[in-house]
Structure 1
Amino acid sequence: MSLDERSYRGFSDTDLIKMIGSGDHTAFSELFRRYKEPLYFHAKRMLGDQDEARDIVQDVFTAIWSKREILVIPAAVDNYLYGSIRNKILDYIAHQKVIIKYADSFDRLLETGISSTDDLVSEKELARIIQTEISRLPEKMREVFELSRNGELSYKEIAEKLHLSEHTVKKQAQRAIKILRLKIKLTIFFFF
């Protein structure tokens, strides 16, 4: 830690917010350092999911940085941060309910007489849907997914090849599968 970074520890949260508004990266780093763990544990306790809790904390801080020039945060910065985490979690839960609703609708459709995906669409059409959804994944996620599935590489091999951590590769592959599963179900559901 540099002398400059240590000197920021003496600033109040309100001072840090003002400096962040001026584009001060070190002030932003200090605010993140102060709150990342308590916010993470708060989100994890509410969600019960470590990865989603981490993502929500990162989303809140990303929003602060991206809106730094116009963001108005009250004097109680900690209340603002915890409120932001709570709102992100509520958005996440609402989104999950929508996903579950559509997945349940699709499952009911399958149970009412359609025995397999092959009955829904031809193999060629299904392959086209899958390829379209893979191409829509974010670039790094798509690359990890394709190396994992098509290249048949292990997470460790992919991490070395792409200069990423093995944890990041695993997380990207899991998210890709989750996204693809949902999008393909929804595409087939709306197709029929």
Structure 2
Amino acid sequence: MTFPNENFLLNRMSTGDEKAFRKLYDFYRPDLYRFVFKFIKSNELSNDICQEVFMKIWEDRWAIQEVSSFKSYLFTITKNHTFNMLKRAAVEDRIKGEVLRNYTVSKNDTEESLQAREYQQFLQRVLDTLPPQSREVFKLCRQQEKSYDEAAQILGISSSAIKKHMVRSMKVLKFAVEKDMGIAFSVFMQLLAQSGDWLPVFEA
């Protein structure tokens, strides 16, 4: 759904019309907020991101006429700001704490359940790239919650070998998460844990 007379308002905004900007802001902000909140789960941080996005829209208003779809442009900027916020969670304790404290997934919310499932499927795709024994070690230690000693006894290898497998697997997973998903690894692991998946937050 687009805003009635959107092109007219965009043209007006590009010339510095604040009233036109306000109308676009009032129309699109609720959808943007819902989109951001799905990932961030914090009222404060979601509001911050929405404000940052619209500030950028206003600052770059002169270029709006070159945009073929304002809605797509708006949501692309919002997605980038959202993922940047999740990246910052890796190094800024306040943001990380806010995200993790507020992130809970409702089992009755289809959209959020699908999002959690996407995380789980991504995890499985990465695990499928591991060597068979590394994958088995990961399964024993994380899915079945075996200790390193217990996993070593089951597989007939040393505990130090188990740890080496886990360290390598964790490095592969961390690299894939931060490269392909663009979010902090610690945040990704916490989201999985809170989504009800079998994988707890852990260090290798």
Q: Please confirm whether the aligned pair reaches a TM-score higher than 0.5, indicating the same fold.
A: no
TM-score, normalised relative to structure 1: 0.44
More helix by share: 1
**Higher relative contact order (Cα pairs below 8 Å, separated by 6+ residues):** 2
